Amino acid sequence: MIREFEEKFGPTLEKKVIAKNKVLYTLMVRREDFINMTKYILNRPNTRLFTMVGMDERNTEESFSVTYWFLDWKAQEVIGIRLYVPEEEPSFPSVGAIHKGAIWFEREVQDLLGLEAEGLPDPRRLILPDDWPEGVYPLREDFQYYHSPMGTRNYPYREPKNNSTVHPMGPYHVALDEPAHFRLFVKGEEIVDVDYRGFYSHRGIEKLARGRLNYNQVIFIAERVCGICGFAHSIAYAQAVEEAAKIEIPDRARYIRTILLEIERLHSHLLWIGVAAHLTGFDTGFMRSWLIREKVMELAERLTGNRKTYGLALVGGVRRDLLDYRKSLILETINKLRGEVNELVDMLLATKSFIKRCEGIGVLSKEKAREWDTAGPLARASGIDYDTRRDLPYAAYDELSFNVPVYKEGDVLARALVRIDEVKESISLLEQAVDAIPGGPVMAEFNEIPSWREGISAVEAPRGENTHYVMTGEINRIYRWRVKAPTYNNLQAVSDMLRGYTIGDAPLIVASIDPCYSCTERVQVVDIESGKAKVISFGGMGTCP
Amino acid sequence: MELLGAIVAPFLPPLLDGVARKVKALIQNRMGPSIFQTWYDIITLLSMEPTLPTGSLAFRLAPYIALASALCMAFMLPYGSNSIINFGGDLIAFIYVFTLFSAALVFGALSVENSYSHAGANRELTLSLVFKPLFTITIGIFALKTGSLSITQIAHSISPSLSIVGAYLLLLYVAYVEAGFIPYDIAEAETEILEGPLSEYSGRLLGLLKWALQIKRFAMIWLFASFVTLPIAEGVFAFVLQMMVFLLAYLLMVTYESLNARYRLDQAMNQGMKGIVIGAVLTIIAWLGW
């Protein structure tokens, strides 16, 4: 992708190489070329909008910037296109107008930085609360993280059309474990349209990281982005910083990271299988699945000291070594797991009423899945053969062998089957990793992290890729840290998945993407009620369904 | 014996639900709550002031009507040889109060502004459209074969034949559906529509409704147990036998419930329609004399 792109657009660009196969181009002149460039990239097969980063670079470059990062997962190449947006005229051409996957990114920079995307289809507020005043942009450098202005409450919800009525699902609903508000426009029980308002658990992580944390503190906040796939977030962050600072981590650390990432995937997928069974009323499947998951949690506790939120990652390696006798503990546990998982799967797939509820429900076509840049099991169930573990290898995945399950049906059942297959793959991966783990140190040695370097990295979390972007700053602090969780894209596709099905199916369809709201809603902002900046507490963490 | 029935019918069902929870817990490798848990819940709820989301009288009356109809259903059934309330043609009255139960739920649910309640009411109505006729057809086969419209008389005079065997199976099925076990707890689906008709109820009114649902569940299965045992037994022995068949059926149903997921409304309707077709065929067979 990089070579072809340069041949076509090279002369107008300033190039900066971030890492092997990762380049950043800055558009110096002719902003009108920008849309053509994105069109050119996104029209290629196997490309996706990886993440988008808005930055306040007024201190260094005297303007704001937006950077669109694209990934070609077959060529394993990442391209970034940076566009400077001057303070006097804070607008840029919208990619959301031609590519749906960019809509939330552009609504986000509009909210947080006050940069307007011209031609954006849905310019409503996305992240900031309903009563946040107009014209106050919390991610700008001149906004202090503890400041909490008040405005009047107002949100322009869409009104139901064609004689449909509103069936509100959430912010509090028994099937949603975190607050999210789906306005289902229904005729009888059939859903004809959907409006979504979320970001109720928006916390302030990125601003906090900029305002008052150093590199090694951020990694613990990164782990607390999510209560389920937290380790994947901390690794993605560590990798981005390591890339920026050009740190090579020791082999043993790579393997330890792999082992824990797979343990995390196991527990997350087993959790999801249980929740899916529960939502269809099949509580026996739910309880059995969580009973197996409990053993995975115990294993994690023995290895790291914590059932969840392992606290093991550091920039440059891992904090603690795995003792040798624990290796046999892992093998013992996964040997037991293998039989129990097979039993569970046999039981689930033999329960006709469960299969009937999942089959043909919430279908997402491959085209739609690509339009929204969906990731993880959701994308793989819709026929997109993409997994960052294989396509953008990190940790020790390039030295281990595994299959990436892909299904074509795109319904809830296919998503369940992808996860079931992945559970089995994870067990095999764990076995291989324990077998192949080399000796040696677990931390790399490095000096001060240089300023104004950039790194971008992704980790395949249980729900899809966690993409973290980092720009290093001065005095041991991060200048910009951008977290993109897979639910950020997957959640946008839910509207398309709900249309045409009934309100009885809605909880299962929403759950089928395995949504994680607190992952998606991280970023910035302070507690409105107390008027204070809130330091993240466990109570606010996601218990993701 | 009838007196015993008057005690059993209202007070045993919540205890049975406690047993059901224990059985389910065993199947799911859990400890489960005490078997008195459902009673504890109902007693707690009955002592609490309800929060009323509407001034509508229908909303406040619905739980009482539901409880009264459920009790009527239970009292019309035979305990041992006789029932507490019996008169010629009480079968028709049984079907009437049986329908009144659903009607009370629906009216209560429709009297509040809540799309979850409304969805529940809608589901209850839709299910009623299929399963109430199915129940009537099934009972009709028994009435046709025995030539009576009194539940006690029918129960005592059933003699085996092809259509009666079919009708037994169909009755077991309808009893299961109307008892509101998964996969047929569609109207009160908690994870989908927040218990539908029950979602706006609280305190005393919710307690009454939960109690009424348990009694209705009891009545449906007890009807089946009576039809099975009374043709071959009399007096105290009949009551013991009724209880044994009832418990067996109840436990089997609970086990089946815990091994299944909930149907969607259209899936349940399809099953119900199949039931009606089978019922119609059985009626013809009965009419032909087999």
B13-65 tens-digit pLDDT: 999 999 999 999 998 888 889 999 999 999 999 999 888 888 888 888 999 99
- Nearest 5°: the CA angle B113, B114, B118 is 100
- Ranked by mean pLDDT, the top range of A9-13, A76-80, A540-544 is A76-80
Under a CB-based contact definition with an 8 Å cutoff, are residues B121 and B105 in contact?
A: yes
Under a CB-based contact definition with an 8 Å cutoff, are residues A40 and A4 in contact?
A: no
Nearest CA in chain A to B267: A356
Q: How far is B25 from chain A (nearest CA, A)?
A: 9
| Range list of β-strands (E), A297-426 | 313-314, 317-318
Q: What is the mean pLDDT of chain A?
A: 85
pLDDT at A544 over 60: no
Amino acid at B179: A
Secondary structure percentages of chain A, helix, strand, coil, to 5: 40, 20, 40
CA-CA distances (angstroms) from residue A1 to A15, A70, A374, A454? 15, 10, 21, 21
> Tens of pLDDT along A74-128?
888 888 888 888 888 888 889 988 998 899 999 999 989 989 988 888 888 888 8
For tokens 């963490």, name the residue: A541
Cis peptide before A168 (omega within 30 of 0): no
Q: SS3 sequence, chain B?
A: CHHHHHHHHHHHHHHHHHHHHHHHHHHCCCCCCCCCHHHHHHHHHHCCCCCCCCCCHHHHHHHHHHHHHHHHHHHCCEECCEECCCCCCHHHHHHHHHHHHHHHHHHHHHCCCCHHHHHHHHHHHHHHHHHHHHHHHHHHHHHHHHCCCCHHHHHHHCCCCHHHHHHHHHHHHHHHHHCCCCCCCHHHCHHHHCCHHHCCCCHHHHHHHHHHHHHHHHHHHHHHHHHHHCCCCCHHHHHHHHHHHHHHHHHHHHHHHHCCCCCCHHHHHHHHHHHHHHHHHHHHHHHHCC
* A189/B263 touch (CB, cutoff 8 Å), yes or no: no
Q: Kind of pairing, strands A116-118 and A91-93?
A: parallel
pLDDT at A534: 41
pLDDT at B193 over 90: no
Nearest CA in chain A to B265: A504
pLDDT at A32: 77
Band the pLDDT of A305: cuts 50, 70, 90. confident
pLDDT at A535 over 60: no
Band the pLDDT of A193: cuts 50, 70, 90. confident
Residue from B245, B249, B216 nearest B230 by CA: B245
Take residue A246 and report the two structure tokens written for it: 């050009």
Task: Report yes or no: B274 at the A interface, CB cutoff 8 Å.
Answer: no
Q: What letters, b where the CB count within 10 A reaches 16 and e where it falls short, cover A50-61?
A: bbbbbbbbeeee
Q: Give the DSSP H/E element, type plus range, for residue A123.
A: none
* B258/A285 touch (CB, cutoff 8 Å), yes or no: no
Which residues of B are less than 8 Å from A282 in CB distance?
182, 260-262
Under a CB-based contact definition with an 8 Å cutoff, are residues A111 and A127 in contact?
A: yes
pLDDT at A518: 67
Give the burial class of B87: count Cβ atoms within 10 A of its Cβ; 0-12 exposed, 13-18 middle, 19 or more buried: exposed
Q: How far is A295 from chain B (nearest CA, A)?
A: 14
Give dist(CA B12, CA B15) in Å, integer: 5
Interface confidence, given as ipTM, is 0.82
> Mean pLDDT throughout B3-9?
80
Under a CB-based contact definition with an 8 Å cutoff, are residues A175 and A510 in contact?
A: yes
Looking at A210-224, A227-241, A526-540, B198-212, which range is the least confident one?
Answer: A526-540
> Mean pLDDT throughout A273-292?
89
pLDDT at A311 over 50: yes
Give dist(CA A124, CA A199) in Å, integer: 13
> Mean pLDDT throughout B157-164?
83
Q: What letters, b where the CB count within 10 A reaches 16 and e where it falls short, cover A391-406?
A: bbebbbbeebebebbb
Of A174, A357, A505, the CB nearest to B194: A174
Looking at A28-42, A308-322, B158-172, which range is the least confident one?
Answer: A28-42
For tokens 């039809």, name the residue: B227
Q: How far is B21 from chain A (nearest CA, A)?
A: 12
Give dist(CA B9, CA B79) in Å, integer: 10
Residue from A37, A83, A29 nearest A61 by CA: A83
Band the pLDDT of B7: cuts 50, 70, 90. confident
Query: In whole angstroms, what separates CA A185 from the centre of its chain?
Result: 28
Interface of A with B (CB under 8 A): 165-168, 173-175, 186, 188-189, 277-288, 291, 351, 353-354, 356-357, 502-507
Give the burial class of A171: count Cβ atoms within 10 A of its Cβ; 0-12 exposed, 13-18 middle, 19 or more buried: middle
* B261/A291 touch (CB, cutoff 8 Å), yes or no: no
Nearest CA in chain B to A502: B264
DSSP for residue A475? T
Give dist(CA B170, CA B160) in Å, integer: 15
Q: Give the DSSP H/E element, type plus range, for residue A7.
A: helix A2-9
* B30/A287 touch (CB, cutoff 8 Å), yes or no: yes
For tokens 């739609």, name the residue: A368
pLDDT more than 90, % of chain B: 30
CA-CA distances (angstroms) from residue B8 to A14, A152, A471? 86, 60, 73
Task: Report yes or no: B2 at the A interface, CB cutoff 8 Å.
Answer: no
pLDDT more than 90, % of chain A: 27
Give dist(CA B73, CA B175) in Å, integer: 13
pLDDT at A347 over 80: yes
Give dist(CA B158, CA B173) in Å, integer: 19
pLDDT at A542 over 80: no
Entry field: residues in chain B: 290
Take residue A3 and report the two structure tokens written for it: 């070579």
> Mean pLDDT throughout A381-396?
90
pLDDT at B55: 83
Which residues of B are less than 8 Å from A277 in CB distance?
261
pLDDT at A488 over 50: yes
Which residues of B are less than 8 Å from A175 in CB distance?
191-192
Q: Kind of pairing, strands A165-169 and A181-187?
A: antiparallel
Task: Report yes or no: B27 at the A interface, CB cutoff 8 Å.
Answer: yes
Under a CB-based contact definition with an 8 Å cutoff, are residues A458 and A466 in contact?
A: yes
pLDDT at A536 over 50: no
Take residue B67 and report the two structure tokens written for it: 């409880």
CB-CB neighbours of B57 under 10 Å:
9
CB-CB neighbours of A324 under 10 Å:
9
Nearest CA in chain A to B181: A281
Which residues of A are less than 8 Å from B116 in CB distance?
167
Band the pLDDT of B68: cuts 50, 70, 90. very high
Relative orientation angle of helices B57-75 and B203-229, to the nearest 10 degrees = 20
- Ranked by mean pLDDT, the top range of A183-192, A427-436, B141-150 is A427-436
* B191/A174 touch (CB, cutoff 8 Å), yes or no: yes
Q: What is the mean pLDDT of chain B?
A: 87
Please provide the distance, in angstroms rounded to a whole number, between the alpha carbons at the two ends of chain B. 34
Give dist(CA A488, CA A495) in Å, integer: 13
CA-CA distances (angstroms) from residue B259 to A230, A508, B133, B221, B252? 34, 19, 27, 19, 11
Task: Report yes or no: B28 at the A interface, CB cutoff 8 Å.
Answer: yes
pLDDT at A531: 41
Of B119, B122, B261, the CB nearest to A280: B261
Of A174, A280, A288, the CB nearest to B28: A288
Which residues of A are less than 8 Å from B115 in CB distance?
165-168, 186
Under a CB-based contact definition with an 8 Å cutoff, are residues A23 and A80 in contact?
A: yes
3-state secondary structure of A296: helix
3-state secondary structure of A221: helix
Residues 50-109 of B with CB under 8 A from A: none
Q: How many CA atoms lie within 13 A of B113 on its CB side?
A: 5
pLDDT more than 70, % of chain B: 99
Give dist(CA A71, CA A409) in Å, integer: 25
Q: Give the DSSP H/E element, type plus range, for residue A95.
A: none
Entry field: residues in chain A: 545
Residue partners of B183: CB distance under 8 A and separation at least 6: A281, A353, B260, B261, B262, B263, B267, B268
CA-CA distances (angstroms) from residue A82 to A3, A18, A73, A451? 18, 13, 20, 19
Give dist(CA A220, CA A362) in Å, integer: 36
pLDDT at A266: 92
Rama region for B181: left / alpha / beta (φ>0; ψ in -120 to 50; rest): beta
pLDDT at A543 over 60: no
* B182/A167 touch (CB, cutoff 8 Å), yes or no: no
pLDDT at B83: 76
For tokens 């436990």, name the residue: B251
* B28/A287 touch (CB, cutoff 8 Å), yes or no: yes
Which residues of B are less than 8 Å from A504 in CB distance?
186, 189, 192-193, 264-265
pLDDT at A28: 64
Query: In whole angstroms, what separates CA A235 from the centre of its chain?
Result: 13
pLDDT at A10: 72
For tokens 């931390």, name the residue: A443
Nearest CA in chain B to A361: B264
* Higher pLDDT pick, B35 / A519: B35
> Tens of pLDDT along A168-178?
887 887 777 77
Give dist(CA B220, CA B172) in Å, integer: 9
CA-CA distances (angstroms) from residue A186 to A160, A499, B257? 9, 9, 30
pLDDT at A29: 57
> Tens of pLDDT along A40-79?
889 988 899 999 999 988 888 888 999 999 998 888 888 8
Band the pLDDT of A233: cuts 50, 70, 90. very high
Beta strands across the sheet bearing A47-57: A13-19, A22-27, A77-85, A63-72, A47-57
